[in-house]
Amino acid sequence: MIYHGVRQTAGGSLYRLGLALFDLHAPERCLRRSNEWIFGPEEPYERRGDVDNVVFPCGYTLAPDGDTIHLYYGAADTSIALATGSIRTILEWLERD
């Protein structure tokens, strides 16, 4: 699961994305959750807008290869953007985190 969270800083709120992996047969059981955020506002359109320093997931699709993820996300409450990644790489990162 890709989720967003908010951290309060001296400069205001910072919205970032984290990961959690749940048991397929007992979805109430969280197997692993990232200690660190995996995705945060970096680009100008993510850092400045109606609400500064915001990224939040809106949905995703998986490519036919079963590994490529297309994550559609909101940026600074002004834009919708697309990030592309690898499910295999994301799971490897989550295992190390």
At residue 44, the 3 state secondary structure works out as helix
Question: Global pTM?
Answer: 0.84
At residue 24, the 3 state secondary structure works out as coil
Per the structure, the count of domains in the chain is 1
Q: Does the structure show a pLDDT above 90 at 73?
A: yes
What pLDDT sits at residue 7? 84
Q: Does the structure show a pLDDT above 90 at 76?
A: yes
Amino acid at position 79, single letter: S
**Cβ-contact 17, 3 below 8 angstroms:** yes
pLDDT digits (tens, 9 = 90+) for 6-57: 888 888 888 899 999 999 999 999 999 999 999 999 999 999 999 999 999 9
What pLDDT sits at residue 13? 83
Ranges of H-type helices in 8-86: 44-47
Range of the domain at 16: 2-96
Average pLDDT over residues 58-85: 96
Residue 36: CB atoms within 10 A of its CB come to 10
